[in-house]
Amino acid sequence: MKELKHLNKYFYKYKWHLIGGIFITIIARVFALVTPRYIGESTSAIERWVNGEVTSEAALRSELMTNILIILGATLLAGLFTFLMRQAIIVVSRHIEYDLKNEVFQKYQELSLNFYKKNRTGDLMNRISEDVSKVRMYAGPAFMYSIQTGILFIVVIPYMFLQAPELTLYVIAPLPILSFAIYKLSVAINKKSTIVQQYLSKLNTFTQESFSGISVIKSYGLEPQTGASFVTLSNENKEKNIDLVKVQAFFFPLMVLLIGASNILVIYIGGKKFISGEIAELGIIVEFLLYVNMLTWPVATVGWVTSIVQQAAASQKRINEFLKEVPQIQNPSTTPEDVQGSIAFKNVTFTYEDTNITALKNVGFEVESGETLAIIGKTGSGKSTILELIGRLYDVEQGEISIDGKDIKTMNLKELRESIGYVPQDAFLFSDSIRNNIKFGKADATDEEIITAAKNAAVHRNIEGFSKGYDTVLGERGITLSGGQKQRVSIARAIVHDPKILLFDDSLSAVDTETEEEILNNLFRISKNKTTIIVSHRISSVKNADKIIILEDGQVVQRGTHQQLLNTEGYYRELYLKQLSEKEM
């Protein structure tokens, strides 16, 4: 339960709304109490008329009319205040839900890449949606019904005791049973709902994957197998839903049964007391019947609320686990950095925590500001790792990476990353327009800057070829770009950012050699005062670099310029000759 303390800061934030809500709830309950009282009195008035105690029909009519108007007025006011109560308390719970979602999302963004490795996307999504919704149930409905029930008990039960103490005891005796039964039932319902949710998310993941991989399914003719798997999953889902419905079906019958039992008790005990003269007026029995009905739902909600609170505590515990996570990569400074861009690796060794693969072993090199370094090597040799370490997506384990002679671990992280334009191996584009995808590199980029960047990335002509040009929407509901087009839009994004350091991770692999040449020439022109690191498998991409290093199994095995490396026996020369012969073929 202590997990829910996390929400206290939000309750404090919205304290005035909540205090107002409690106050309104009291008023709403007080008005709701008027109805049983006046119905009871009206019954007694009719009883007096029937017994001949009152003989004036006009007096009876006027009394009943007055009572009806009072009941009508009080009911309307009770309705109005109940509406305001919901407005106050439920609206606060929506604000808390919004704040909590933002808090969690903010945390997600702060956390380092290793956190995303350790946790599955589904889990991250669930905590920010499902779990936050369950916590909202505690901050909203559970809070509201608890106050409502509390107030009703404080006001109604003493009043009932005053009217007929013994009858009150008999009438409220079954209520704790009702509350306990509803609690047990709610726990069972929640358990079953969680299972239904799990099966539903399995089904959703399967469906989503089938849509994403539809081209593979179709080209391999896998429709029958996929269809059969779907039927199995959806069958399981149906079974779990039926299980849930069976338990849910008990809810209202149980309520009706217990309300009925309480009503019978009022009529039986009340009737006996009326006959024996302990209760003077029939109206009291009618009034009690109404109170019992009025109390039953709030009493049932005690059980319901208890199970909601338990669920919310479990959900908040899961949320807190993430909120307490400390980002592995810390920002040590907030002072502005004047990054010039010279980069040095000194004896850098790095092992990926999750796989325990040592991707870099004792790597050392230097690139001066404005220079171009090319990294070449077999797949899995550690090239991408070098680029990721420069932007501190991970921290080195041994050795040091410095920029302008300063250990990057001591630099302002935000400014370090802002000084880098990184084009990852898998160009990732958002489901948005091409313009906005490029603008992601610079939020306030003008159209002219965007077009220049696209021209330098040799993708402007392609974009103009689309009927909506730069407004063409990409992704699920938009068009799909070719691999090469994606890479070039991604390059344009890095260029428009105009950083001091440009990192290209095999970013030209999907473009033809002619376009590659065009882009490299443009890059050469615009990156005169920038440090550029190009990772590639192609000699054509790296031959003009100031320095080239060859990686093998995480180690630098050769280094030099294109000419120097050609004159040395080794991987570079072999690759050159191989690619040359392929070109000539």
Ligand X SMILES: Nc1ncnc2c1ncn2[C@@H]1O[C@H](COP(=O)(O)OP(=O)(O)OP(=O)(O)O)[C@@H](O)[C@H]1O
DSSP conformation class of 556: E
CB of 346 to ligand X, least distance (A): 19
The 420-423 sheet, strands edge to edge: 420-423, 501-505, 531-536, 372-377, 547-552, 555-560
127/383 with CB nearer ligand X: 383
Distance CA 73, CA 356 (A): 74
Minimum CB distance to ligand X, residue 535 (Å) = 6
Name the strand (E) or helix (H) holding 20.
helix 15-50
- Cβ proximity to ligand X, 425 vs 472, nearer residue: 425
- The β-bridge partners of 555 are 552
Residues 6+ apart with CB under 8 A from 59: none
Closest approach, Cβ 379 to ligand X, in A, equals 3
* Burial (Cβ within 10 Å: 0-12, 13-18, ≥19) of residue 3: middle
**DSSP secondary-structure letter at 481?**
P
557/563 Cα distance (integer angstroms): 16
Nearest approach in angstroms of CB 316 to ligand X is 31
Judged by CB, which is closer to ligand X: 36, or 554? 554
Radius of gyration in angstroms for the set of CA atoms belonging to the chain, rounded to a whole number: 36
Structure tokens at 400: 């040091």
Closest approach of Cβ 526 to ligand X, in Å?
A: 25
DSSP code, position 529: T
CB closer to ligand X, 318 vs 537: 537
- In the complex, what is the shortest distance from the CB of residue 406 to ligand X, in angstroms, rounded to a whole number? 24
State the minimum distance, in angstroms, from the CB of residue 505 to ligand X: 7
- Cβ proximity to ligand X, 307 vs 381, nearer residue: 381
Q: How far is the CB of 383 from ligand X (least distance, A)?
A: 4
- Please say which residue, 32 or 374, places its beta carbon nearer to ligand X: 374
Residue 121 beta carbon to ligand X: minimum distance, rounded to whole angstroms:
15
Inter-residue contact 513 to 540 (CB < 8 Å): yes
- Residue (103 or 388) nearer to ligand X, CB: 388
Distances in Å between the Cα of 51 and the Cα atoms of 39, 46, 68, 256 are 18, 9, 22, 35
> Residue 69 or 357: which CB sits closer to ligand X?
357
Nearer to ligand X, 354 or 444 (CB): 354
The H or E element containing residue 160 is: helix 143-163
Give strand ranges (E) for 352-453.
Answer: 358-367, 372-377, 398-403, 406-407, 420-423
Distance separating alpha carbons of residues 390 and 409, to the nearest angstrom: 10
Asked if 368 contacts 531 with a C-beta cutoff of 8 angstroms, the reply is: yes
Which residue, 239 or 426, has its beta carbon nearer to ligand X? 426
Cβ-based nearer residue to ligand X, 115 or 170: 115
| Cα distance between residue 392 and residue 386, in whole Å | 10
Min separation Cβ 382 and ligand X, Å: 4
Round to whole Å and give the CA distance between 37 and 265.
19
Which residues are registered as beta bridge partners of 25?
Answer: none
Residues that bind ligand X (CB under 6 A): 352, 354-355, 357, 359, 377, 379-385, 425, 506
| Nearest by Cα to 531 from 399, 330, 390 | 390
Task: Tell me how far CA of residue 497 lies from CA of 443, 454, 481, 519, in angstroms.
Answer: 9, 12, 22, 17
CA distance 328 to 318: 20
CB 296 within 8 A of CB 252: no
In the complex, the smallest distance separating the C-beta of residue 453 from ligand X, rounded to whole angstroms, is 25
> Which strand (E) or helix (H) includes residue 379?
none
